[in-house]
Amino acid sequence: MTLRHGWAAVALVAAALACTPTAARAEEDKPDKAVDQKIADTLKGVINTGADRYNKLQDYWGCYRLYEGALLVARGLLPHRPGLQRDIDAAIAEAEKTPQVHEKAFVLRRVIDKVRSDCDPSVKPPKDPKDPKDPHEGKLPDPKTLWDRLGGEDNVKKVVDDFVATSAKDDKVDFFRKNTPNPHQLDVDGVKKLKQQLVAYISSATGGPIKYSGGDMKKVHTGMKITDAEFDAAAAHLKAALEKNGAKADDVKAVMDAVGKTRGDIVEKKSGTGMGPGPGTEKKALWDRLGGEPVVKKVVEDFLPMLAADKKVDLDRGGKNKLSDKDMAQVKTNLIAFISQVSGGPLKYEGKSPNQAFKDLDVTEEQYKAAEADFKAALKNNKVADADANDLVTELAKFKGQIVQKK
């Protein structure tokens, strides 16, 4: 039960290069035709395999890890080319610091192209593997933005039209604030302008080209007295509009996650006057109630060793899925970010979806329950309140259907 990174493909690369004799060390690069040609030929397959993962599966993390593993193997076979070894080291270090996963793959792809062309001068590297006009194999075009995946301006306009139409009729939303001291009196032009602003806001939040020129969310909604219940009702209509207009489940979730982060600016909390609750009584985000990053980090650090030692979980799948210390460090980072994402925290998860991460691991119901028990124990060990621990376990259980894939 882990977020795997496609190391099986790296093992094949290692096997392909293992037959190559290692040349003697040298102070500066001194070509060894047999070794260099073998590396150049093998890296061609690595490029295309990585590009398939990147383009067909949108598995940017798998592509990145494949390229990293191939470079580490190649580096060990290049003592006669210390210059290339330095290039590889620099690229791997740069990729580790690069925040976006798809950009990590680009950083390593560029040095792979350099290694190939240096080892085989007949190979001309592409000017830019992102360029769709470049004739070279293994292109890695920039992944589509969420805006593009939603269908761009034309489809987002349809989403907004449907959202406004259904929300306006729902008394639970009170779209025009009829039940407040300051109801909206929007004519046809007013509704049209509102829709334009909504399209622009979605564009700005999903990587689209339309710039949002309205005020910030808190200022715009001040005085509207929007409640949590009304926010939830409106969010349900937006979700339905996205689904109606063909948005995929992962993209719907991405939009709804972005919308959820605006709750604090849109929902107007009652002041400490009159019969309402006083300041500071509003409910904190689950992430904050857990103790934020310091506590979640300790929970994960306790959980992973328990998981690895639990035979009922069978983390390494009978030795077929053994993880290195580096793998476990990445699992730790991913899990902390994933918990942040589901609990309203600030850390962004950029790993695979659970459905992709657990594919082919054949996780059973019993293994899931055993892992869940270990996680609950880690929460308890770190003195997380029972109510907050239960809330987190409930949020994570929403992904159970993507994790348990063996009946």
Among 26-30, 142-146, 199-203, 294-298, the range scoring the smallest mean pLDDT is: 26-30
What is the rounded CA–CA span in Å between residue 159 and residue 199? Answer: 9
pLDDT in tens, 155-205: 999 999 999 999 888 888 888 777 666 666 667 888 888 899 999 889 888
pLDDT in tens, 286-309: 898 999 998 999 998 998 888 888
In this predicted structure, the answer to whether residue 79 has a pLDDT above a threshold of 70 is yes
Token output for 286 = 């689950």
| Of 126, 130, 98, residue with least CA distance to 112 | 126
Q: What's residue 361's pLDDT?
A: 75
Contacts for 147 with CB less than 8 Å, ≥ 6 apart: 156, 202, 203, 206, 207, 208, 209
pLDDT at 131: 60
What is the pLDDT, as a whole number, of residue 28? 66
274 in helix, strand or coil?
A: coil
pLDDT confidence of residue 242: 94
Predicted pLDDT of residue 134: 52
Q: pLDDT tens, 393-404?
A: 888 888 887 787
Give 340 or 350, the one with higher predicted confidence: 340
Q: How far apart are CA 195 and CA 193, in angstroms?
A: 5
pLDDT given at position 273: 38
On average, the pLDDT of the chain sits at 80
Is pTM, for the whole model, over 0.75? Answer: no
Of the listed ranges 13-22, 200-209, 358-367, the one predicted with least confidence: 13-22
The confidence score (pLDDT) of residue 27 equals: 52
Residue 329 pLDDT exceeds 70? yes
Residue with tokens 């009729």, as numbered in its chain: 169
b vs e for 30-56, b when ≥16 Cβ sit within 10 Å of the residue's Cβ?
ebbeebbebbbebbbebbebbbebbbe
- Name residues whose C-beta falls within 8 Å of residue 115's C-beta, 6 or more positions apart in sequence: 39, 40, 43, 71, 74, 78, 84, 87, 88
Sorted by where each starts, the structural domains of the chain and their CATH numbers stand as: 7-119 (no CATH), 146-266 (1.10.490.10), 286-403 (1.10.490.10)
pLDDT recorded at residue 243: 93
Q: Look at residue 91 in the predicted model and tell me its pLDDT.
A: 92
CA angle 4, 352, 2 (to 5 degrees): 30
pLDDT of residue 225: 82
- Report, as an integer, the average pLDDT of 355-383: 85
- What's the token pair of residue 316? 């390494």
